[in-house]
Amino acid sequence: MNKISPDYYQKGNIEVTDFIIDQSMSFLEGNIVKYLCRYKEKSGIEDLRKARWYIDKLIDERMKTKPLKEGKI
């Protein structure tokens, strides 16, 4: 298979997209992982802010379907 991903997604022993697929992550979860994995090599603080935006969105969505009960997620 041809790799079309930039180098910042191919660090370590597994490509970021392969990890996301292997873990059956949702779109929101996958974007969180993507931005965290690339922030040092690509856009720095901007990527961390993007990851935070997706984390906040994921929290909002989880609260709609599984609200916190007695401090548990």
**Cα dihedral sign for 3, 54, 26, 72?**
positive
pLDDT in tens, 48-71: 999 999 999 999 999 998 776 655
Rounded Cα gap, residues 45 and 19, in angstroms: 23
pLDDT per position as a tens digit, 22-53: 999 999 999 999 999 999 989 899 999 999 99
CB distance 35 to 51 below 8 Å: yes
Q: What is the pLDDT of residue 13?
A: 76
Asked if 52 and 31 touch (Cβ cutoff 8 Å), the reply is no
Between residues 12 and 36, the one the model is more confident about: 36
- What's the pTM value of the predicted model, to 2 decimals? 0.76
